[in-house]
Amino acid sequence: MRLKSVRRASSSYGRVRRTLEVKQGSSCWVDVQQVLLREGHALWMPPPASLGESAHNAGYRLASQQAAAAAGAGAGAGAGKSLWDTDSCGAGPFQTARLALDVASDAEGDDTTNVNGEWVRIRNTGTTAVHLKAWSLRTASWDVHRFTATTRIEPGGSITVQSGRAPARVAAGHHDVG
């Protein structure tokens, strides 16, 4: 086993950031993250560019996209790879909903001064309202926003969830995680 990084000081939330490789056979090293992503056992979350650990981003992105795309490629129900298996959790509400996400995952400048620069906008591009009762969003820092029983997105409408410090007044259509 070996741990690798581009920069020795790379860390995130006080933990070192490393790629884990294991030796297979006498000379072949296997990137464990690549395998987990390709098999659909993990979600890829690209590190901020400021960490300087982007060497694997293209490969990890491709592995994630291929695992997700495989979910619809099989010949029948249950096709897919692990967490991308469309039958894994059974049918949920609003299976035909047409939702799109816009994400601002890294605030401009210093995150400590631009506390409301990170957000997720959920847009309803379909023709029927979508109720978000029992839905939730989780940030990379494990902050969770649970939508209320009355939260819904009208056709052509959207809601925005901010993850920074709560503003004095939350704008109409906005929800706050912070």
* Residue-wise pLDDT tens digits, 111-145: 677 777 888 899 999 999 999 888 888 776 667 88
Is 22:30 a contact under the CB 8 Å cutoff?
A: yes
Is 74:82 a contact under the CB 8 Å cutoff?
A: no
Spatial CA neighbour of 128 closest among 93, 174, 94, 160: 94
Q: Is the pTM of this model over 0.75?
A: no
pLDDT value, residue 122: 93
What are the respective helix, strand and coil percentages of the chain, to the nearest 5? 15, 25, 55
Is 101:124 a contact under the CB 8 Å cutoff?
A: no
Give the type of residue at 130.
V
Quickly state the pLDDT bin for 178 (edges 50, 70, 90): very low
pLDDT value, residue 171: 56
126 vs 90 pLDDT, higher one: 126
